[in-house]
Amino acid sequence: MKNNLDFLMESNRVGVTKLAKEIKVSRGTIYRTLNGGTPSAGLMLKISKYFNRDVKDIFFDSSVQQIVHGRTSA
């Protein structure tokens, strides 16, 4: 599943180990998600809560890069 997790992690200077520890999942789970694996609904919610973003902005909307930078597409 395509997602914007790598961008959010880089933008917020959050590494795989830190994110995994903070949301209480394995690093492998984060790596699988970064590599296109389909995350569970629970994992999507944990990640969206951690980054304070809507789930759809991270996992379903390719415009999250614009949202993070304060720009929206019309």
The CATH H-level superfamily of 5-68 is lambda repressor-like DNA-binding domains (1.10.260.40)
Average pLDDT over residues 53-74: 67
Do 59 and 44 touch, CB atoms closer than 8 A? yes
Band of pLDDT at residue 1, cut at 50, 70 and 90: confident
If one counts every other C-beta atom within 10 angstroms of the C-beta of residue 52, the result is: 7
Query: Would you give the DSSP letter of residue 4?
Result: S
> In the chain, where are the structural domains located?
5-68
Residue percentage of the chain with pLDDT more than 90? 70
Lowest mean pLDDT among 30-39, 44-53, 54-63, 65-74: 65-74
- Alpha-carbon separation of residue 66 from 29, 38, 43, 58, 62 (angstroms): 26, 23, 23, 12, 9
Mean pLDDT of the chain: 87
pTM for this prediction: 0.80
